[in-house]
Structure 1
């Protein structure tokens, strides 16, 4: 028996990167998956890649109307949700004196507001025993110049995983935080960093981590699969850090 047999999983930001890798991992373990993303072309491509156990729904996590559409279409197709992976996010890096209000709002809207209202909107569909996974980051306990907004958003997500775990436990719902370290994904496309600057950041982080290398999307997806499954049934409010040891040394 596969670990997610017949479970229904919803993944925001599931059309690329870690979200798409997790969708593959969940389907391999028997789940049916709803992926939610902004770009219709990459959404269609991801669904074609994932096969018949995947459904794509276009929308933006910062739009409550789009999240209501996600809820309505998921309920119509599947009725309830076993796994919610609130994964959509982005990062913009800049010195504090060059950050404007629009940049501040964009990062907090996607990385924090989007996570909070994803959980709130889909909460009525979450079954007793459901697993909620929030994508944080290994940066949430770090401080690096130019990272103030991104790092702060991920610290907020870590806080949400604690408080939501406490609040939703009486409903039989577990909430855990998944904190990837540096991984080569299309995340660079959602930052303001030039490719060479992003590669330099990867090299710097990898050199400081005990394992001395970047992670892979599959390694993070494996952790997400564990948190999604009943194998992690006694875990809630946890922070699962998949970063080669960078955050904790």
Structure 2
């Protein structure tokens, strides 16, 4: 532990499990004073806080709901906290083959992945310190055309675009906005979002081992270390970038 986030306060959305949980855990290990975590399942959130400890504050929140985001803001204000970092991490992934996609699926993906990211940052912006950091979770899918995932791919491209604009728009307050784009990572998204079977996940793992230069599928903790880098003082001159954390897959 280096204490790079000593006495800092952060928000991590979608932090019940997976990459978000790993980010929250890493922040606390690095000395964070308090980490607010959000999720849509009360049970999963409670389990996450039980693992993270009393410096984690769970807020039941759907990022696609402005009412829920306002409650998150009010919870932070009630503790008189100001934010050093916002990790807009919450997102969903659903298969949507062209020709079979419903309007409801379209709105579901874009409401969480695009609207949710935008209004998370906008809502929490008044609580952010000058010189603080925004880290948006996108995906390597933001710049490729993975079959059957056109809505997910496009939504993550929008997230990447937000960081470009916000890096410029927030320059007066020296707030940095960067994008974290993971590659194939073993998270509950595969089970719950994509509804993959154990056999399908194992087949994907073997495929990833073949196509990725580093030869394996990432764990959430490996993505979290990159997220913390982007939010830390180590990256104080890094702004508006997309950091691909994918074992080199997008570079070949």
Q: In the aligned structure 1, how far is the partner of 2:163 from the partner of 2:232?
A: 17
Q: In the aligned structure 1, how far is the partner of 2:232 from the partner of 2:26?
A: 11
What residue number does 1:224 align with? 227
Distance 1:9-1:247 versus aligned 2 partners, 3 A rule: same
What residue number does 1:25 align with? 26
Q: In the aligned structure 2, how far is the partner of 1:200 from the partner of 1:169?
A: 45
Q: In the aligned structure 1, how far is the partner of 2:192 from the partner of 2:110?
A: 14
> 1:247 is paired with a residue of what secondary structure?
helix
1:90-144, CA deviations, whole angstroms, 9 ceiling, x for partnerless residues? 1111310001100111001111110000000001001001110000001111112
What residue number does 1:52 align with? 54
In structure 1, list runs of 5 or more residues that go unmatched: none
1:193-220, CA deviations, whole angstroms, 9 ceiling, x for partnerless residues? 3323344334334421111211111110
> 1:89 is paired with a residue of what secondary structure?
coil
Once the two structures are overlaid, the 10-residue window that deviates more, 63-72 or 219-228, is 219-228
What residue number does 1:129 align with? 131
Q: Is the 8 A contact 2:9 2:81 kept in 1?
A: no
1:194-247, CA deviations, whole angstroms, 9 ceiling, x for partnerless residues? 323344334334421111211111110101111121111111101111100111
What residue number does 1:82 align with? 84
Q: In the aligned structure 2, how far is the partner of 1:219 from the partner of 1:168?
A: 29
Q: Is the 8 A contact 1:165 1:236 kept in 2?
A: yes
For the aligned residues, what is the CA RMSD?
Answer: 1.3
Q: In the aligned structure 2, how far is the partner of 1:111 from the partner of 1:202?
A: 25
Distance 1:59-1:99 versus aligned 2 partners, 3 A rule: same
> 1:108 is paired with a residue of what secondary structure?
helix
Number of residue-to-residue matches in the alignment: 249
Structure 1 residue 17: Cα displacement: 0.6
In structure 2, list runs of 5 or more residues that go unmatched: none
TM-score (norm 2): 0.95
Distance 1:42-1:19 versus aligned 2 partners, 3 A rule: same
